[in-house]
Structure 1
Amino acid sequence: MARPTPLSGFPEWLPAERAVETHVLDVLRRTFELHGFAGIETRAVEPVEELLRKGETSKEVYAVGRLHDEDGGASSEKRLGLHFDLTVPLARYVLEHAGKLVFPFKRYQIQKVWRGERPQEGRFREFTQADVDVVGSETLPFHYEVELPLVMAEALSALPVPPVRIAVNNRKIAEGFYTGIGLSDVEGALRAIDKLAKIGPDAVAELLVKDAGATPEQARQALELAAISGRDASVAERVRALGVTTPLLEEGLAELVALVEAAEDRVPGTVVADLSIARGLDYYTGSVYETTLVGHEDLGSICSGGRYDSLASDGSRTYPGVGLSIGVSRLVARILGAGLAAASRAVPTAVLVAVGSEEERRRSEDVAAALRARGIPTDVAPTAAKFGKQIRHADRLGIPYVWFPGAEGDEVKDIRSGDQAPADPASWTPPAEDLLPTVQRT
């Protein structure tokens, strides 16, 4: 068989890299569960028509079907596609199981997703996402819009990454302000503002006039609003100083100030109100969040989300939600590519039991079984080579200890220091820091 050609956009980590990814996933899972979120997993496929409802183009959805489909794929209702995010599956899951769920429903979900876009740094065709959401039935209290970014800030602070900046905005502010200045195409204005960091204020002003129907004066006012940022109530004061007042604007300002002040108290310096954040505001209805790594802003947002007033609806009942999603593969790729962290070893094994001869392998396997029974990850040497070669095998894998069974008693060697001492498999335990692989910042 010829050497296979890698498929771009489908990352495969080596064992030591996978250990870093596993650490990230474990931290996220543990943090979410500490805050009362229950884990779920949904199927990988959804009906294509459901996937396309969120605005994804058909070019980005991977269709799924048998090579020899009996109906030739003629029935569009039966067409399935791989989910490109975890929000569409969540909406379907809530509708399907609403009678068995307790609301507010706090859920986290960590799964693979697939998106048929052009691969580039930080963007993959197959990647892992970690979502955390709270879904209500008919109503959902605002305090969950405050809780979600604080949970995410706690999770990210426990990862081997630089500090994060969570930028927050509120759809009500933009909509209320634009209405107040007589600008009716809110979505068009938001799409233009979303390009501010890429093309600058002059070009955005032109887009506001050309695509959103703004006058030059309205474009100037919209850019003044987008320039405001801060971590306290001064944000609202600066918005009001622009001379625009509407009930919806005031509601959005009150919510934004409550969020940033709570965050400044809990996680100082992490959350900032940034009224230029516009991505997603056309389908979010309240708070919206975008997260970047300080010093790695070129990577773009690693975690985003917001409030939906209608995550799902069955016609008689509406389920509002608020959530955040982390691009785990995107984050791990930067951790590995920038050398931000590394695993202490490539394998979980803490002890390699040496084999004196193949006739004595059973004895080595008995030692390994005794250590495993006490929760110590243990492997047995693959061959009865010279002990020096077996030690080198352990060293290549990063295994810290080699165990030598002996007729007059066993001994264990720390191959890093060279220290060797008598040991009993019924009682010996490695130091806590050596029991399992660890991931450390580099």
Structure 2
Amino acid sequence: MPISGFPEWMPPQRMIEQRVIDRARATFELYGYAPLETRSVEPLDTLLSKGETSKEVYLLSRLQAEEGQKSDDQLGLHFDLTVPFARFVTENAGKLQFPFKRYQIQKVWRGERPQEGRYREFLQADIDVVNRGTLPFHYDTEMPLVIGDVLSGLPLPKARIQVNNRKVCEGFYRGLGLEDTAQVLRVVDKLDKIGAQKVIDQLIETAGASQKQAEACLQLAEISSEDGSFADAVRKLGVQDPLLDEGLDELLQVVETARELNPGLVVAELKIARGLDYYTGTVYETQLEGYERFGSVCSGGRYENLATVGNEKFPGVGISIGVSRMLGVLFGQNALGVSRSVPTCVVVALPNEELRRTCDRTAAALRRRGIPAEVAPTAAKFGKQIQYADKRGIPYVWFPGREGEPDTVKDIRSGEQVEADATTWEAPAADLYPVISGS
């Protein structure tokens, strides 16, 4: 019986997911990120200290808990990979070389309301960089470039990474005279969901804003550009604050670096803020062209205070691909496909059971050379064995030679059949593995 929000994809979809994982892993390592996997559980107080997530945390408990178990021993499943990573850094700071660059590709759990592309158990692919004391800003400019390289190497719709800086927002709100900048951020972050008028109403009701201040917040949120012109648009609003100037300078670096190295990838979008409280500077959200209504599939940002030991800080910046979220949306729209439902490239036909050992040797010879191969499950008529391959999209059937005759291999798509030797025959590169395609 299916459980809502816990997807179990069929093998063709799982092969697509694995190809995405492989691409992410290879790209992350090209940029120097090292692999890491952290535990699935964290103390509940750790999870609840990082933002408004209490409704989303899944608790972990034994069916028969030990008597006298303290409530502060309560564990919860992690809802992202950044919080456990920060904990790992503080516990292992003496063993790590800084700046520390790592990637994690793991499951996370959130008690959200399941809907298309949103699950309660899902896979994320994260990169983060942390340093001791201070973290150079150029890592903020690297994050979207890495993600751009990952996604551009896959048959996906074009990605647009929206970038903002919380210093811009907080400095602007402070310059307006609004003190509860965190609440203003939370309200403005709902703009796409609730609309402009409700944002104004909530700013007046919950953040102490006047009508004029609330309208100014909306004017800031409406600014968007692919180049540095956003900075001039902000300054024309006439608000001044040192934090605002600092944020604009940082955001300019991210936008202009991406514009030079990957034109069209990044856009400054001053309405995004990210919901978690630990972000302090740059923030990222990513949409796929044509799928904007489904929201962000990749997000992250800069955090200065998430990882601390006493008076020592380990600031970081990170970004995360919601692999399950992204693929779930595309699967739901039939926007991704795979050329066959199994990895097999060649089925070795079985003339009779007495020759199974011989056919096993042929398949083994093909596998040793990196060609995925399997022997037909039964010694049925060759027509049925070809049908077995055809139903699975397997392109080739191998026929053992009879009484000293050479083996042959048949491309069942074209019908072409040629003599072949399992120690030398090469499958065309396009047929060797299943091919992922986008619609």
TM-score (norm 1): 0.95
C-alpha distance after superposition, 1:66-121 (max 9, x if no partner): 3233337x322332222111112101111122111111111111011111222111
- Residue of structure 2 equivalent to 1:78: 73
Q: Which residue of 2 aligns with 1:372?
A: 367
Provide the C-alpha distance between the structure 2 equivalents of 1:269 and 1:370, rounded to a whole number of angstroms.
Answer: 47
Q: Is the 8 A contact 1:190 1:281 kept in 2?
A: no
Q: Is 1:67 aligned with 2:63?
A: yes
CA RMSD of aligned residues (A): 1.5
Structure 1 residue corresponding to 2:12, chosen from 7, 13, 16: 16
Do the aligned partners of 1:171 and 1:281 also contact (CA within 8 Å) in 2? no
Q: Rate the CA distance shift 1:58–1:252 in 2: closer, same or farther, 3 A.
A: closer
Select the residue among 51, 58, 64 that pairs with 1:55.
51
Partner SS state of residue 427, structure 1: coil
For residues 285-309 of structure 1, give each alpha carbon's deviation from its aligned partner in whole angstroms, at most 9, with x where no partner exists. Answer: 1111111111111111111110001
- Cα gap change, 1:281/1:347 in structure 2, threshold over 3 Å: closer, same or farther? closer
2:420 counterpart residue number: 423
| TM-superposed deviation, 1:227 | 1.6
5+ long unaligned stretches in structure 1: none
- Pick one of 337, 340, 345 that aligns with 1:350: 345
Distance 1:192 1:234, change over 3 A: same
Gaps of 5+ in 2: none
Task: Indicate the residue corresponding to 2:139 in structure 1.
Answer: 144
Look up the match of 1:172.
167
- C-alpha change, 1:61 and 1:282, in structure 2 (3 Å) is closer
2:344 alignment partner AA:
T
Contact 1:145-1:307 within 8 A present in 2 as well: yes
Given that 2:52 and 2:276 are in contact with CA atoms closer than 8 Å, whether structure 1 keeps it comes out as no
Report the secondary structure of 1:191's partner residue.
helix
- Residues of 2 paired with 1:47 and 1:283: CA distance? 18
Instruction: Tell me, yes or no, if structure 1 residue 383 matches structure 2 residue 378.
Output: yes
Task: Give the aligned residue type for 2:379.
Answer: A
Between the aligned partners of 1:242 and 1:172, the Cα distance in structure 2 is 16
Structure 2 residue aligned with 1:300, among 295, 298, 305?
295
Q: Does the residue aligned with 2:380 lie in a helix, a strand or coil? A: coil
Equivalent residue for 1:34, pick from 17, 22, 30: 30
Partner in structure 2 of residue 414 of structure 1:
411
Shift of 1:208: 1.4
1:58 Cα deviation from its structure 2 partner: 4.2
Distance (whole Å) between structure 2 residues aligned to residue 218 and residue 348 of structure 1? 59
Secondary structure, counterpart of 1:335 in structure 2 = helix
Task: Give the partner amino acid of 1:344.
Answer: S
Is the 8 Å Cα contact of residues 127 and 319 (structure 2) preserved in structure 1?
A: yes
- State yes or no: 1:93 paired with 2:88: yes
CA shift, 1:26, in A, is: 1.2
Question: 1:309-357 CA distances to partner (integer Å, 9 max, x unpaired)?
Answer: 1221111421101011111111111222222221111111111111111
Provide the C-alpha distance between the structure 2 equivalents of 1:296 and 1:403, rounded to a whole number of angstroms: 43
Instruction: Report the equivalent of 2:305.
Output: 310
AA aligned opposite 1:40: L
Structure 1 residues 362 and 337 mapped into 2: Cα distance closer, same or farther (>3 Å)? Answer: same
Paired with 1:297 and 1:215, the residues of 2 have a C-alpha distance of: 32
Count of residue pairs the alignment pairs up: 437
Q: 1:130 aligns with which of 106, 125, 135?
A: 125
Give the Cα separation in 1 of the matches to 2:229 and 2:114: 41
Show CA shifts across 1:33-84 (max 9, x none): 1111111111122222222222354442222233233337x32233222211
- Corresponding letter in the other structure for 1:200: G
2:114 aligns to what SS in structure 1? coil
Does the 8 Å CA contact 1:229/1:274 hold for their aligned counterparts? yes
Q: Does 1:215 align with 2:207?
A: no
Over 3 Å counting, the alpha-carbon distance change for 1:167 and 1:328 in structure 2 is same
Is residue 116 of structure 1 aligned with residue 102 of structure 2?
no
